[in-house]
Amino acid sequence: MEHFVWNFDPILFSLGPVMVHWYGVLFATAISCGFLVMKHIYKREGLPVESLDDLLMYCVVGIIVGARLAHCFFYDPEFYLSHPLKILYIWEGGLASHGGGLGAILALFYYHTKTKLAFLFLLDRLAIATAIFGFFVRIANFANSEILGNPTDKPWGIVFARVDNIARHPAQLYEAMAYLISFVVLYAIYRNTQLKQKHGGIFGLFLLFIFSARWAIESVKVSQTAYHEQFITTGQALSIPFLIVGVILFIKALLPTKTAK
């Protein structure tokens, strides 16, 4: 069976010694789209749009720092503890979405202390923006031929020619679709239901959807850790607390309580 061959040049263009990568362009697109979604929501709800510049700065720092530290200490701790300066070498690759998510939550909490807007209220809105952000980041991973899936003989398997000649699950695209579907569903719920009035409901649903998908997709991804003989992958283990929080928040939002104000 012939499979689609992906031999995409990750470099968009070069200006002398400076190389502009598709990953950087798509990551910037992810940030821009997430910002525009939040701006749209803030305008709909009469919130202070000018404060979003601060939120953007906090989240970018939180996501990058959190994602980098999680990659270093959860996926290859022995190497980075032996070479601590390498933690700063972000350009060499290595960002973990679980850490990025936690970093964004901490950044949002700091923003909450500055604006006095309810924390769960903010998380519900940021979840929608995060979904479209995650979609573009996973497309960037695909452009980079990274976060590979296991070998497969399925007709939709893809040969990542810059890695090897083996047809693999396009795990990046699986996750990208999960994020895109999540964005569409969450925005529809935000626009058309009263769940947005129950603080934490949309965020809880986001956690359930994304980390359930992540748990399933991890089973077809190449292990990113130095330890391969595990009952569950590191990504699955890191998904468990997010799933638990998602269940708690979503159930709490469904319980008959007074409408949050």
Distance CA(165)–CA(163), nearest Å, equals: 7
Annotated binding residue 168? no
Let me know: does 98 contact 69? Beta carbons within 8 Å. no
List Cα–Cα distances, 114 to 51, 106, 108, in angstroms: 10, 13, 10
Let me know: does 254 contact 208? Beta carbons within 8 Å. no
Q: Please choose, from the candidates 43, 199, 188, 60, the residue with its C-alpha nearest in 3D space to the C-alpha of residue 124.
A: 199
Binding-site residues: 138
